[in-house]
C-alpha cells in the first residue's frame, strides 16, 4: 500500500475516500480537513479566540493540536466531572498536553466549584449520568467562554459522533434537535458560538493522528456511558460502514446539505421565551435554569444522605 500523495509506504488507509497516506501526508490530510471545515462553515477567523473543550480523549486533543499547528489562538478548557479515577486520569492527559505544547488550559471542577459530582448528582436529579453530564457540559462550556471573553467554543465531535446523534434524532424524528444539529451554532444573546471542526474526520482517524503525533490520551471510555443508546447507534452505523464505506459521511453531509435547511426553523421555536436565570444569569426558558436546578437537587441530596428526589426531565439543549 502506497501513499496516494507521495508514493512512500502508507501507514493508514481511508476506505471512504478510497485512499491511503504515509505519516506526514496523513497528518497534513487531517490538518487540511479541519482547515477546510473551518472555512466551509465560517467557524472563526484568524483574530478570534477559541476555547477548545478538551476531555483528555483523542478527539479533543487532536483538535487542539491541529488548531495550534494552524496558528489559531486556541486555549483549552477541561471540566472536572468528578467521575473518580476516570476524571483524574482525563485531567492529567489534558494538563500534560497543555504543558507540552505551552498552551493555556482553563479548568473548572464541578465538585469543588458546585459541590456535587456527576455519579451521585445525576440520580439525585432523576437523570441518567449522560444527561446530567451533557447538561453540565453545555452550560459550563458556554459560561467559561463568556467569562473568558472567547469568541467561540470548539468541541471534538467527529464524524462518527455526529452521524450517531443524527441517527438517533432521525429514529425519533426529533425536529427540534435536528434543527440544531449543525457544525456551527451562531452566537446569540447569552450564548457563545459553538463549532465542531472535526466533522470531516472519523474517530479512527483522530486516534491514528494522536498515535502518529505522539499525543497521549485517555483510551478508556467513560464508565458511566456503558450501554447507552449513543454507543448502540455508533455500532449500528459501523456495521453499515463496513459493508458500504462512505455511508456515514453520505448520511451526515447529505443531511447538512439537503435536510438541515428544511428543519432549521424548528430549532428556534423556544428562543422567544428565554430570560436570564436568577441564579447564574444563563438564558433559560424555565424559572431557574436546568443546570442550577440540577446542582441544587444534587447538593440537597448530598446533604441529607441520598433521600429519594423529585423528577426532572427537562433540559436546555444547545
What does the binding site for ligand FES look like in residue numbers (CB under 6 A)? 81, 118, 129-130, 133, 222, 224-225
Of residues 35, 151, 279, 296, which one binds Zn ion by CB under 5 A? 279
Q: Choose among ligand FES, ligand AMP, Zn ion, none what residue 224 binds, the Cβ cut-off being 5 to 8 Å by kind.
A: ligand FES
Of residues 10, 43, 79, 201, which one binds ligand AMP by CB under 6 A? 79
Distance CA 291, CA 317 (A): 11
Q: Which of residues 38-77 bind ligand AMP (CB under 6 A)?
A: 53-55, 59-60, 77
Q: Choose among ligand FES, ligand AMP, Zn ion, none what residue 277 binds, the Cβ cut-off being 5 to 8 Å by kind.
A: Zn ion
**Nearest CA-CA partner of 124 in 154, 82, 155:** 82
Residue 3 or residue 110: which is nearer to ligand FES going by CB? 110
* Cell numbers representing residue 208 in the block: 491514528
Q: Choose among Zn ion, ligand AMP, ligand FES, none what residue 54 binds, the Cβ cut-off being 5 to 8 Å by kind.
A: ligand AMP
Query: Parallel, antiparallel, or unpaired for β 184-185 and 152-154?
Result: unpaired
Residue 216 or residue 279: which is nearer to Zn ion going by CB? 279
Residue 20 or residue 77: which is nearer to ligand AMP going by CB? 77
Of residues 52, 164, 210, 289, which one binds Zn ion by CB under 5 A? 289
Q: Which of residues 146-175 bind ligand AMP (CB under 6 A)?
A: 155-157, 161
Q: Choose among ligand FES, ligand AMP, Zn ion, none what residue 292 binds, the Cβ cut-off being 5 to 8 Å by kind.
A: Zn ion
User: Which residue is associated with the grid cell 440520580?
Assistant: 123
DSSP H helix total and E strand total for the chain:
13, 10
Q: Within a 10 A sphere around the Cβ of 204, how many other Cβ atoms?
A: 16
DSSP 8-state secondary structure symbol assigned to residue 110: H
Q: How far is the CB of 137 from ligand AMP (least distance, A)?
A: 6
- For 185, the enclosing helix (H) or strand (E) is strand 184-185
DSSP 8-state secondary structure symbol assigned to residue 256: I
**Nearest CA-CA partner of 160 in 96, 95, 231, 91:** 231
Q: Give Cβ neighbours of residue 53 (< 8 Å, ≥ 6 apart).
A: 60, 76, 77, 79, 137, 141, 153, 154, 155, 156
Residue 217 or residue 251: which is nearer to ligand FES going by CB? 217
Amino acid at each position: 500500500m502506497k501513499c496516494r500523495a507521495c508514493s512512500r509506504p502508507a501507514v493508514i488507509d481511508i476506505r471512504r475516500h478510497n485512499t491511503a497516506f504515509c505519516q506526514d501526508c496523513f497528518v497534513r490530510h487531517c490538518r487540511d480537513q479541519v482547515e477546510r471545515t473551518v472555512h466551509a462553515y465560517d467557524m472563526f477567523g484568524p483574530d478570534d479566540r477559541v476555547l477548545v473543550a478538551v476531555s483528555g480523549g483523542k478527539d479533543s486533543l487532536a483538535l487542539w493540536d491541529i488548531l495550534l499547528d494552524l496558528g489559531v489562538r486556541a486555549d483549552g478548557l477541561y471540566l472536572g466531572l468528578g467521575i473518580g479515577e476516570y476524571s483524574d486520569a482525563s485531567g492529567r492527559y489534558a494538563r500534560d498536553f497543555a504543558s507540552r505544547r505551552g498552551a493555556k488550559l482553563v479548568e473548572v471542577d464541578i465538585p469543588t466549584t458546585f459541590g456535587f459530582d456527576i455519579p451521585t448528582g445525576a440520580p439525585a436529579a432523576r437523570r441518567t449520568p449522560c444527561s446530567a453530564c451533557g447538561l453540565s457540559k453545555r452550560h459550563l462550556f458556554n459560561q467559561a467562554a463568556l467569562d473568558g471573553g472567547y469568541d467561540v467554543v470548539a468541541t471534538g465531535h467527529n464524524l462518527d459522533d455526529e452521524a450517531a446523534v443524527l441517527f438517533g434524532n432521525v429514529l425519533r424524528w426529533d425536529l427540534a434537535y435536528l434543527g440544531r444539529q449543525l457544525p456551527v451554532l451562531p452566537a446569540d444573546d447569552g450564548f457563545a458560538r459553538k463549532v465542531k471542526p472535526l466533522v470531516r474526520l472519523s474517530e479512527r482517524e483522530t486516534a491514528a493522528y494522536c498515535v502518529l503525533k505522539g499525543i497521549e490520551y485517555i483510551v478508556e471510555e467513560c464508565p458511566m456511558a456503558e450501554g447507552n443508546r449513543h454507543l448502540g447507534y455508533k455500532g449500528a452505523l459501523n456495521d453499515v460502514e463496513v459493508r458500504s464505506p462512505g455511508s456515514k459521511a453520505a448520511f451526515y453531509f447529505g443531511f447538512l446539505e439537503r435536510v438541515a435547511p428544511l428543519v432549521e426553523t424548528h430549532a428556534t421555536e423556544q428562543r422567544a421565551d428565554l430570560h436570564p436565570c436568577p441564579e447564574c444569569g444563563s438564558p433559560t426558558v424555565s424559572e431557574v435554569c436546568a443546570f442550577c436546578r440540577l446542582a441544587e437537587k444534587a447538593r440537597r441530596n448530598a446533604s441529607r444522605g441520598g433521600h429519594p428526589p423529585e423528577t426532572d426531565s427537562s433540559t436546555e439543549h444547545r
